[in-house]
């Protein structure tokens, strides 16, 4: 597709103070020797979209957004893998050039990759953060293998819905937790061997029925007392992994490895994700789509909870 010249004053969604976000003209993000400037069409909203900088303190005005997909508008002089017109997706946490709630964003080239063949830009924009976090939890933290019994705790959200499918792709048997009849039906449709209500059901009975000798691994995408009861069913030598940010964190237990991790972006990580997406029929559930000008409505929907899959912003 032909590239487009970045406009002089593209629109961005900025957080002007902690209470409101609004659309405003903002300086265009320029590429530097190692950066890539992309024109965005879609970006995803994570379950815990940040509203502050790396120190935990907000610096306003703040352009939100950590991932998205679009068309390369320009590249730096030392960038070789990408060229203007390429369809790409990207993940950049605390990007000093500004976030993805904008028509243009400049990011380090190592955190950008060509979109996998089966994905349109809408679905590619929804997956960088959630896909990398899910894949690194299943493969790098838990080392899920064929025949293992795995619990994905919190399987109906953006990360969990992908982690469930990736665990199945690795040949595991999966118990997925969700809430409500629609949530349970949702995870069953994605391939869960067994579904359990993580809020109101008897999680211990469900896990014991699923794996009488104990489960091999738990990917914890939410914390709390029900998770702790679930972990009681992990066999000796088993693993529990959770992305940093899950609170309260799982308690340490004798004989069980508790692993915290961050979903990270890089050339190797995107290649790994791309192979998984291109060689399987993984579904990327989209729970809702909003225009960029309606970002505040999207956040309010996210805050209400019970989002089955991912919410995306449509930039163009």
For residues 16 and 111, state if they share a domain: yes
- pLDDT tens digits for 264-280? 999 999 999 999 999 99
Rg (CA), the chain: 20
For residues 68 and 81, state if they share a domain: yes
What the block records as the tokens of 269 is 């990580």
CATH number of the domain where residue 20 is located: 3.90.180.10
Is it the case that residue 29 has pLDDT exceeding 60? no
Contact 293, 23 (CB under 8 A): yes
* Residue 137 CB contacts under 8 Å (≥ 6 apart), including other chains: 159, 163, 219, 241, 242, 243, 261, 263
Is it the case that residue 33 has pLDDT exceeding 80? no
For residues 30 and 92, state if they share a domain: yes
For residue 58, the model assigns a pLDDT of 59
For residues 201 and 229, state if they share a domain: yes
Could you tell me which residues are beta bridge partners of residue 111? none
DSSP 292: G
For range 23-40, the mean pLDDT: 63
> Does residue 288 form part of some domain?
yes
> Does residue 245 form part of some domain?
yes
What is the chain's mean pLDDT, rounded? Answer: 87
For residue 39, the model assigns a pLDDT of 73
Is it the case that residue 160 has pLDDT exceeding 90? yes
Residue span of the structural domain in which 66 resides: 11-127+284-314
For residues 80 and 163, state if they share a domain: no
> Does residue 278 form part of some domain?
no
pLDDT band at 1 (very low <50, low <70, confident <90, very high): very low
For range 49-60, the mean pLDDT: 52
> Does residue 165 form part of some domain?
yes
> Does residue 84 form part of some domain?
yes
Is it the case that residue 59 has pLDDT exceeding 90? no
Of the two residues 35 and 134, the one the predictor is more confident about is 134
For residue 316, the model assigns a pLDDT of 74
CATH number of the domain where residue 231 is located: 3.40.50.720
Contact 21, 292 (CB under 8 A): no
> Does residue 302 form part of some domain?
yes
> Does residue 217 form part of some domain?
yes
> Does residue 2 form part of some domain?
no
- pLDDT tens digits for 283-314? 999 999 999 889 999 999 999 999 999 999 99
Least confident of 55-69, 82-96, 111-125, 176-190: 55-69
For residue 31, the model assigns a pLDDT of 59
Instruction: Indicate the number of domains in the chain.
Output: 2
């Amino acid at each position: 597709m032909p590239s487009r010249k970045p406009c002089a004053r593209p629109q961005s969604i900025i957080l002007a103070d902690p209470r409101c976000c609004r659309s405003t003209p903002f300086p265009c993000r320029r590429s530097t020797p190692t950066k890539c400037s992309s024109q965005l069409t879609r970006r995803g909203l994570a379950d815990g979209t940040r509203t502050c900088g790396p120190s935990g303190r907000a610096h306003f005005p703040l352009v939100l957004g950590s991932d998205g997909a679009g068309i390369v508008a320009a590249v730096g002089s030392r960038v070789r893998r990408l060229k203007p017109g390429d369809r790409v997706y990207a993940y950049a946490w605390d990007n000093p050039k500004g976030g993805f709630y904008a028509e243009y964003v400049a990011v380090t080239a190592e955190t950008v990759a060509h979109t996998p063949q089966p994905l349109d830009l809408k679905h590619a924009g929804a997956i960088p953060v959630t896909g990398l976090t899910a894949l690194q939890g299943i493969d790098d933290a838990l080392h899920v293998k064929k025949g293992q019994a795995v619990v994905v705790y919190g399987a109906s959200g953006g990360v969990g819905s992908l982690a469930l499918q990736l665990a199945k792709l690795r040949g595991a048997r999966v118990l997925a937790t969700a809430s409500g009849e629609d949530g349970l039906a949702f995870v069953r449709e994605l391939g869960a061997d067994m579904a359990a209500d993580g809020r109101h059901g008897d999680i211990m009975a469900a896990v014991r029925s699923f794996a009488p000798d104990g489960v091999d691994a738990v990917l914890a995408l939410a914390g709390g007392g029900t998770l702790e009861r679930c972990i009681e069913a992990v066999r000796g030598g088993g693993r529990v992994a959770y992305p940093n940010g899950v609170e309260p964190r799982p308690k340490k237990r004798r004989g069980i490895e508790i692993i915290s991790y961050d979903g990270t972006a890089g050339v190797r990580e995107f290649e790994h994700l791309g192979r998984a997406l291109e060689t399987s029929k993984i579904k990327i559930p989209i729970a809702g789509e909003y225009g960029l000008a309606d970002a505040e409505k999207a956040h309010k929907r996210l805050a209400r909870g019970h989002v089955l899959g991912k919410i995306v912003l449509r930039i163009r």
